[in-house]
Amino acid sequence: MASYNALDNRSPYGSGDPYYSASTGYIAPANVKKPLSKWIKFGIPVAVVVVAGAVVAGVLASRHSNKSSSSSSSSTGSPAAASSAVSAKNAVGIFPTATDSEFMVPIYPSTTNAAAFSTPTYNPSNTEFAWPKDPFAFPSNPSPTSLRSDRPRLIAPKYKWDALPGLIANDPYLKRWNDTIFGNATTYFSLPPVQYHLDGASGILDNAREVKMRIKAFAYVYRMTNDTKWVDRTWQEIQNAAGNGTTSFGPSTDKWNTVHFLDTAEFSAAFGIAYDWLYDVWSDEEKSQIRFTLNLYGLGPGVSVYQGDPSGVGWWSKGVYGNWNCVCNGGLTLGSLAILGDDTTGNAAALLGYTINNAKQNCALGPSQDGTWNETANYWYFGTTGHAEMTSSLITAAGDDFGLLNANPNFNLTGLYHMYAFGPTSLFNYGDHGPNKFSTTANSMTFYASQYNAPQYALFQRDQADAAEPWSMFWYDPTISGAFWNGAPLDHFFDYAGDQWGSMRSSWTDINALYVAIKAGSLQGHQTHNDLDCGDFVLDALGTRWAGELGSGDYLSLDYFKSDAQNATRWLYYRKRTEGQNTVLVNQANQDVSAQPKITHDTSGTAQGSSTVFKAPSDSTAYFVADLTSAYFDVTSFSRGVRLLNGRQQVLLQDDINAQGAVMWRMHTNATVHVDSATSATLTLDGQTLKMEILNAPSGAQFATGDAVRLNGDPALPAGQSDQPNPGVTVVSISLPAGQYSLQVLFNPQWPGLQTSDYVTPSSVPLSSWSLTSHN
Ligand SMILES: *[C@@H]1O[C@H](CO)[C@@H](O)[C@H](O)[C@H]1NC(C)=O
Ligand SMILES: *[C@@H]1O[C@H](CO)[C@@H](O)[C@H](O)[C@H]1NC(C)=O
Ligand SMILES: *[C@@H]1O[C@H](CO)[C@@H](O)[C@H](O)[C@H]1NC(C)=O
Ligand SMILES: *[C@@H]1O[C@H](CO)[C@@H](O)[C@H](O)[C@H]1NC(C)=O
Ligand SMILES: *[C@@H]1O[C@H](CO)[C@@H](O)[C@H](O)[C@H]1NC(C)=O
Ligand SMILES: *[C@@H]1O[C@H](CO)[C@@H](O)[C@H](O)[C@H]1NC(C)=O
Ligand SMILES: *[C@@H]1O[C@H](CO)[C@@H](O)[C@H](O)[C@H]1NC(C)=O
Ligand SMILES: *[C@@H]1O[C@H](CO)[C@@H](O)[C@H](O)[C@H]1NC(C)=O
């Protein structure tokens, strides 16, 4: 897979995106082959040895050695007689056995391994796996301009590089990531330097992040090999992004595009990493050139932002609790820390006087009081990557986080947000999805795990497809043990009024698990990245997504981000309109942006245990009910509820509504939909089947299907604007005239081995009377 948006293979930029093909969606850059089979194995087969209840290190080690010599410590020069703890760890290996090629999620073995799948824990006394203590004695009153004396300063100090080969030998995850980074660096090596092109978000952010991704990999491999060809290749990329390469790179001034300051910041981070990680090999002349370019196009404009912002490009520094603030302050901070002491302009020291306080007041508030990211679940990646890079660099360079970790007392909950937003197949990706990822990953989870002592975050992330990159080599604490799912509640509800969403599932380790996530929350205050989507839900089961999201519109559309007021142009685009969501439409109108829904919910509190083989008890359930009356203009009352039935094998979605306008229930699906009768439909997707049924159907209620396009009678789009096409998506709908209804839709995934008689038909219970036992 490529590191751009692994979670969404449609381009948010449509045909303007170089990686977008109208027929196949995202296409990988030429060098990256798209996997063909759905069930593709990792290159290195790694088996989790199944020995229920009897994990004897010696036994495991000897079994392992019969299996595969390439996945163990034996190839990496580990001590001849590895300890039994090392042998046992290497024998267990990587938990997942494969990655699903469609959704890029880990496939876990069906096993019980009580020793390995234990409670998430750090075991710092386990010295064979532990990082050494930082030998540098920071001053007791740390200052962001009083830095460690050795290099590197950013994220990966020398003592960690020195310890890394030994730790790689003792840890199968580090070993895999190291191999992958080498492989990726080798791929990038043979590519021409990143070509300048304007991407789909008014800038050159893709360029900046691709340069940063490459430089991280090149510098990593250099430091692990001492082979200067990697330094030369880094220099080529640096020269190119400075406009000194063999092909032109942007305009003659403002090359890093300060008008879209994210670009400026990501280039600054890239140059900072190159400067710092390769400090000892650059000549003085090269260092001076890097500093010159970094100051000219990056840090100088950064200082201007903080000293009056004469060009007005610094709006992100003024009250923006979102990814822009984290990425911009983060990039400026990495660039500044890298050159501080060598910088003769004063920019680096000046910026360190601004960025940290600004990020504490803004970026750090990206997660709300329940951990939900202010923008969307996909923008969480950008925001937390910026925050984690900045905080980690300050800790390694200056010995302190300067309040970035605790300025928001609930920041540590944002890892929970990510885990619960991640369904068995993909993210609950409501709202905009953001630009291509490149250097952005979910590895902030690994950093936060250590900083907040939340080992489950690192255990969750280490199995993901985007885990392998240089940051995780240094953020990962290999003394970790256990399984993230052990003891993890299946459900979580995010209560803060601005967010209000719920996540319910049947297993943490089964790609086939059932998963429902649903939201209410406010329709403003999300940096104009949300949709008008109160009541919107996604549904996973049987290894695929049945009810899904359409994602971003075209970021270059007229006034796409301009306003989130009721009459905003943004709300004219189908993917942002209420009709483009999996919710109820009344009078064919958008929801009321001033909605203040109220939610109730409950859960049986079921948590998964040690085993990956998990079946919820038959009375295990959860529900979420949102009073959405305030989200509509033409209802006197409306509540939407969703609940799990029959031991989490079925889902009931119920709308109790009294509407003065026509009611239209809508759901977007990639499935092929066959309407069997007025009240039943059969959906097929990825070789699986899901049946939908309208229960206690109000007179006239019947399933219909249509295309995911704007409805006749919608207000016109601005001249020259168009909606993104939604190829392959079908809208399942139920239309009713104004009136009072309880509209109940039952979802029955056709689980293998389950007979028709094994499915339940719930009785009709008003949402106001729902409880954990109301449908028994
Ligand atoms: C990095 O290498 C891995 C393993 O070969 C591959 O799956 C992934 O697509 C590569 N990433 C990039 C960005 O090329
Ligand atoms: C890192 O991976 C490369 C490529 O697979 C390998 O040659 C090298 O030995 C690995 N480093 C360590 C310390 O294992
Ligand atoms: C690279 O050079 C450094 C400094 O001389 C040395 O400590 C390290 O062992 C070398 N690494 C390799 C892989 O040769
Ligand atoms: C790029 O060229 C300019 C003009 O010669 C020079 O001042 C600058 O230092 C160069 N930057 C890099 C990174 O080579
Ligand atoms: C998101 O951040 C903005 C500040 O940029 C804030 O005004 C708004 O209330 C936040 N949204 C939520 C849902 O908390
Ligand atoms: C977050 O921090 C609070 C306060 O220290 C703590 O009570 C809570 O358990 C933490 N939550 C997680 C998920 O680590
Ligand atoms: C359709 O599949 C694509 C690719 O997996 C996904 O991004 C999109 O969200 C899906 N759409 C729906 C409506 O489920
Ligand atoms: C929305 O309404 C405001 C206030 O009446 C007006 O200034 C603005 O131009 C309107 N915007 C659009 C896109 O119609």
Q: pLDDT digit string (tens) for 126-144?
A: 999 999 999 999 999 999 9
Domain count, the chain: 2
Q: State the pLDDT at residue 387.
A: 99
Q: Is 682 within 8 Å of 657 (Cβ atoms)?
A: no
Q: Are 437 and 3 in contact (CB under 8 A)?
A: yes
Q: Does residue 771 sit within a domain?
A: no
CATH number for the domain including 425?
1.50.10.100
pLDDT average, residue stretch 556-577: 98
Q: What is the CATH number of the domain that holds 660?
A: 2.70.98.70
Retrieve residue 673's tokens. 């939909």
User: 443 and 410: one domain?
Assistant: yes
Q: Quote the CA–CA distance of 43 and 41 in Å, as a whole number.
A: 6
CA separation for the pair 753, 294 (Å, rounded): 62
C-alpha 539/C-alpha 559 separation (Å) is 31
pLDDT of residue 81: 61
User: Tokens 């899901």 belong to which residue?
Assistant: 690
151 found inside a domain: yes
Residue 770 inside a domain? The answer is no
In a domain, 767, yes or no: no
Q: Which two tokens stand for residue 328?
A: 């911009």
Among 29-43, 210-224, 256-270, 275-289, the least confident range: 29-43
By most ligand atoms within 8 Å of CB, the mutation choice from 240, 268, 293, 296 for ligand 4 is: 293
- The rounded distance, in Å, linking the Cα atoms of 677 and 15 is 38
Q: CB neighbours (10 Å) of residue 53?
A: 9
Query: 294: Cβ below 6 Å to ligand 4?
Result: no
Are 728 and 711 spatial neighbours (Cβ–Cβ below 8 Å)?
no
Q: What is the per-residue pLDDT across 648-662, written as a single tens digit (0 to 9) for each?
A: 999 999 999 999 999
Per DSSP (E only), the strands in 346-491 are 480-481
Do 216 and 125 share a domain, yes or no? yes
**Is 549 among the domain residues?**
yes
The span from the CA of 337 to the CA of 266, in Å, is 14
At which of 481, 508, 543 does a domain end? Answer: 481
What global pTM score does this model have?
0.92
Which pLDDT does position 12 carry in this prediction? 30
Same domain, 472 and 526: no
User: Is 179 a pocket residue for ligand 2 (Cβ < 6 Å)?
Assistant: yes
pLDDT of residue 201: 76
| Ligand 7 environment, Cβ below 6 A | 8-10, 545, 548-549, 668-670, 729
User: Ligand 4 atom closest to Cα of 244?
Assistant: 1
Examine the domain organization and report whether 436 and 560 are in the same domain: no
Residue 527 has pLDDT above 70, yes or no: yes
Structure confidence by residue, pLDDT tens digits, 324-381: 999 999 999 999 999 999 999 999 999 999 999 999 999 999 999 999 999 999 999 9
| Judgement on whether residues 283 and 394 belong to the same structural domain of the protein | yes
User: Same domain, yes or no, for 660 and 583?
Assistant: yes
- Quote the pLDDT of residue 183: 98
Taking Cα atoms as reference points, which of 575, 540, 585 lies closest to residue 735?
A: 585
Model confidence over 63-120: pLDDT tens digits? Answer: 233 323 333 333 344 444 679 999 999 999 999 999 999 999 999 999 999 999 999 9
Domain assignment present for residue 153? The answer is: yes
Report the C-alpha gap between 530 and 563 in whole angstroms.
11
Tell which atom from ligand 7 comes closest to the C-alpha of 549.
Answer: 9
- Could you say which of 429, 451, 481 is where a domain stops? 481
> Is 572 in the same domain as 474?
no
* Domain assignment of residue 461, given as a range: 20-481
Q: Is residue 402 located within the same domain as residue 536?
A: no
Does the bond joining 45 to the residue before it have cis omega, within 30 degrees of 0?
no
Q: The tokens of 348 are what?
A: 């680096």
For residues 773 and 762, the answer to whether their CB atoms sit within 8 Å is no
Are both 449 and 513 inside the same structural domain?
no
Q: How many CB atoms lie within 10 A of CB 470?
A: 28
Same structural domain, 445 and 508: no
**Ligand 8 atom closest to Cα of residue 568:** 13
Give 244: exposed, middle or buried? Use CB within 10 Å, 0-12, 13-18, 19+.
exposed
Question: Same structural domain for residues 451 and 508?
Answer: no
Instruction: List the alpha helices (DSSP H) in 439-597.
Output: 444-451, 455-461, 470-475
Domain end, chosen from 481, 505, 540, is at 481
Tell me the one-letter amino acid at 287: K
Q: What is the CA radius of gyration of the chain?
A: 26
Residues 391 and 528 in one domain: no
Whether ligand 5 lies within 6 angstroms of the CB of 522 is answered as yes
Q: Is residue 8 part of a domain?
A: no
Whether residue 173 lies inside any domain: the answer is yes
Structure tokens at 472: 């995780």
Kindly tell me the sign of the dihedral angle through the C-alpha atoms of 153, 156, 159, 162: negative
